[in-house]
Structure formats: C-alpha cells, structure tokens
Amino acid sequence: MTKFRYLSLTFLFVLLPLSASANAGTPLMWASMAHLVLGNALIGLGEGLLLAILFGGSKLRSILLLVAANYASAWAGGFLFAKHLPSWTDITILNIQSWIVAFVILAFLITLLLEFPFVWFALRRSERKLSQTVMATIVVNIISYIALVGWYWMASGTTLLSDLEVVSFDDMAISEPCDLYFISLEGDQVFRLDIKKPGTVEVVAEVEAHGLSDRLFARTRERSGFDLLVHCDQGESGGEKELIVLENFSALAPVEWRMAEGHSETASNTWFNFGAVPSISQSNVWEYYTGFWSIEGLNGNNLVTGEKVHFSLELPFAAWPIRNATQLEGDYVVAQIGENQICLIHPPSKRIALIARGKGPMVAKPKPTSESE
C-alpha cells in the first residue's frame, strides 16, 4: 500500500503543473520526467521491500539495489525505445496497434534482463538458485510494470487510435476533383495524385528538398491564380529558401493563414505549420485547427451543432504531430501525420485512410483543362 500511495502522490505532482499552462509541455513529458527522476526511487523502494518480504534477504540491501536497478533500466530503456527503436521500425496507422503490444512485451523483457543482476546480488547471501532468482525478478517487476503501463497510458494521447476507424483510401468518397501534391521520401521529386482516382501518381518536378521540415505551399499570383512553391531549410548552413515548382497551377489552392492574414510574407516550415487549417471548400460545416504538440493533434468544431472532435497520438515510442493540413469539400482533411504519413481524415464519420508516404503535402483544385496556362 505504501508503494501505491507514493505513486498516487507522484501522479498528482505530475498533473498539477499541467493545469497551470499548456505551454509547459504535455502530460507524457511530465509523466516521463517524474518517472525518470523520482518515480524510479519509489518503485525501487516498493520492489526492494517486496523482494525482501517474499524471498528473504536484507531489506536495506534489496531496496538500494532495486532502486539502482530501476534507474539503470529506465534510463537505458528510455534511450533505446524513445531514440532508436522508432527509427528502426516502420510504424504507421495501419500497424501501430500491433506495435503497441510488441513494445510493451519487449520493454518488459528488457527490464527483466537489465534488473536480473541486481536481484541476483540482493539474494546472493540467501543462497538462492538461478530459477528462484528468475522468479523473484519476474514477481517484483510484474506489479510495478502494470502500474507503469497504466501511468504512461493515462498520460498519452490515443484518440487517433481509439476514436478513428482506419479504412481503405478507396472507401473515402471525395465529391470534387482535387490534386494532392507532396514531396517524395527521398526529397528529390514532387508528386501529384488525383484524390478521386487512387493510384494515379505522376512526377511533376525535380527538387532538392531533403530536410524533414521541407514542404510545399501555395502563393497567390499578382493578378490571379496560384503558384506552387517548395520551402526548404538549409540545414547546418542556416537560412531558408523558396523555389517555384509550378506556375499558375491551380484554380483554388490553400494559402497558409499567416500569409493570408498578412502576418508573414514567407511560408513557415513543416514544424511550424500548425494552427487554422486552410480550406479549398466553399461549403464548410466544420472548421479545423492543428496544435503544436503531438497531443494537441487535429481539432474540429461543427459550426451548426457545436460538436467538437479531437484526434491525436502521443506515445512514448510514437509521437506524431499533425501538420500541413488542407480542408476539402465534404469536410475532409488531408494532413501529414508524423514524419511521412499523408492521410485523409473525415472527422464527421470518424474515419482515416493512409493515402501516401511522403512529406510536405498540399491539396489544390485543378485548373479546367480548357484554360490556357
């Protein structure tokens, strides 16, 4: 009971700062910080007492070793799972639920492996056999691990999984013709995809846009029409540049709200392209905006009924900000989720589909074929 009382107090300690300011971070950030800094000491205390009571040995020795074990496994596991494993896997909305189960199991096994030597030394004077040490390692960890999984799950954002049904792109019904433009994963080509005709992808330009935050955007021409440009960060050399990809390419294209309202003459990169979602629809029932943090995700407000929706994903191993969004006819939204998932979302029906893998997307209405360039 003492262990869970301390965990409850730590949980309150984490939550109180969050209510003060949304700019202070996200619940997951605070939960991770509390776990890595303070939580491991409390968990080690509980596990050490449990080890001594159930399997014998010195309480002080067990507590000191299990506290050290928890700090070692937490920091090593955090470094592995948060920094490396996500980059070694290809996680998308199509397979993330399976990956959640896999990561939970793998993290538990790694925890047992890392903490086994500490348990062995804690029980060494009790002349325990190897099998008994293995059992002790499992028993003292399984309770705390269940608590930790619940801790991180409560602090995570999961509505992108729980509230949206993943469907095929073919199941989405777009009422008006729209062209999706996006940069290839390699950053060397710009593709165009007819959203009403899945699979119709063509290369429209060659570019040098290799940065993660490089993206496409539209700018209004002096007289009429829109130009398609690419925004590129210059990496270590600093600075940014904008290059024209296609001139007068669209009948109606979304203009970033900062540019449309006169707050900026240049487009922002992907990382800072959040806020009010521009629309190429003339009959919106919903209005949307995206937040900065991954847990803020995509938010929608029904202008008629007042209904609100919120979809986001922020897990310890998968935090996906939503960027570069465009609202289409029928209150659909095309957006980049994470680094390279381009998705079509329909908040009214709570469905989502993966369209393509790429970055910096933008959707525009095509020019009439009879119109001259």
pLDDT tens digits, 232-290: 986 655 678 899 999 999 989 999 988 888 888 889 999 999 999 999 988 889 999 99
Q: Does residue 290 share a domain with residue 146?
A: no
Report how many domains make up the chain.
Answer: 2
Residues 6 or more apart whose CB falls under 8 angstroms from that of 208 comprise 187, 188, 232
What pLDDT shows up at residue 6? Answer: 35
Q: Last residue of a domain, which of 110, 135, 155?
A: 155
What is the β-pairing status of strands 298-302 and 286-290?
antiparallel
Query: What's the rounded mean pLDDT across residues 294-319?
Result: 94
The answer on pLDDT for 87 being more than 80 is no
Query: Is 329 found in the same domain as 210?
Result: yes
* Structural domain includes residue 160: no
On whether both 232 and 135 belong to a single domain, the answer is no
**Would residue 99 count as lying in a domain?**
yes
Per the structure, the complete domain to which residue 316 belongs is given by 165-366
Does 260 share its domain with 333?
yes
The pLDDT confidence band at residue 81, using thresholds 50, 70 and 90, is: low
Tokens of 174: 């777009």
Q: How far apart are CA 348 and CA 302, in angstroms?
A: 9
**Is residue 78 situated within a structural domain?**
yes
Rounded to 5 degrees, what angle do the CA atoms 54, 55, 56 make? Answer: 105
- pLDDT of 215 higher than 90: yes
193 and 143 in a common domain: no
pLDDT tens profile 276-287: 999 998 888 999
The Cα–Cα gap between 127 and 149 comes to 33
Q: Specify if 371 maps to a domain.
A: no
Give the C-alpha separation, 212 to 270, whole Å: 8
Where does a domain end: 122, 155, 188? 155
Q: Which of 102, 137, 155 is the last residue of a domain?
A: 155
What letter represents residue 140's amino acid? Answer: V
Q: Are residues 298 and 342 in the same domain?
A: yes
Is residue 228 within 8 Å of residue 218, measured between CB atoms? Answer: yes
Q: Where are the alpha helices (DSSP H) in the chain?
A: 2-20, 27-34, 40-55, 59-78, 85-88, 96-122, 130-155, 159-162, 257-260
User: In which band, very low, low, confident or very high, does the pLDDT at 42 lie, cut at 50, 70 and 90?
Assistant: very high
C-alpha triplet 148, 152, 157: angle, nearest 5° = 165
Instruction: Tell whether 44 is covered by a domain.
Output: yes
Copy the structure tokens of residue 176.
């008006």
Minimal CA–CA distance to 317: which of 81, 134, 149, 92? 81
Sheet of 226-233: strands edge to edge? 201-206, 189-194, 179-183, 359-366, 240-252, 226-233, 215-220
Same domain, residue pair 42 and 185: no
Are residues 201 and 52 part of one domain? Answer: no
Q: Is residue 277 part of a domain?
A: yes
Q: Looking at the predicted structure, is the pLDDT value of residue 32 above 90?
A: no
- Helix, strand, or coil (residue 175): coil
2: pLDDT strictly greater than 50: no
DSSP secondary structure of 213-268: T-EEEEEE-SSSSEEEEEEEE-GGG--EEEEEEEEEEEEE----HHHHTTS-SS--
- Distances in Å between the alpha carbon of 48 and those of 87, 205, 318? 35, 62, 32
Q: Is the pLDDT of residue 295 over 50?
A: yes
Across residues 40-67, what is the average pLDDT?
A: 91
Residues 192, 149 share a domain: no
Reduce the DSSP state of residue 100 to 3 states and report it: helix
pTM to 2 decimal places: 0.85
Question: Do the domain assignments include residue 233?
Answer: yes
- Does residue 107 belong to any structural domain of this protein? yes
**55 Cβ neighbours under 8 A, 6+ residues apart:** 123, 126, 128, 132, 136
Residues 360 and 241 in one domain: yes
Asked if residue 85 and residue 147 are part of one domain, the reply reads: yes
Quick one: which of 205, 206, 157 has its CA closest to 322?
157
Backbone φ and ψ for 189, nearest 5 degrees, come out as: -140, 155
Burial, 301: exposed, middle or buried (Cβ in 10 Å; 0-12, 13-18, 19+)? Answer: middle
- Residue 169 per-residue DSSP state: G
pLDDT of residue 21: 38
Over residues 90-146, the pLDDT tens digits come to 899 999 999 999 888 988 998 999 999 999 988 876 666 788 889 999 999 998 889
Clarify whether residues 143 and 179 are in a common domain.
no
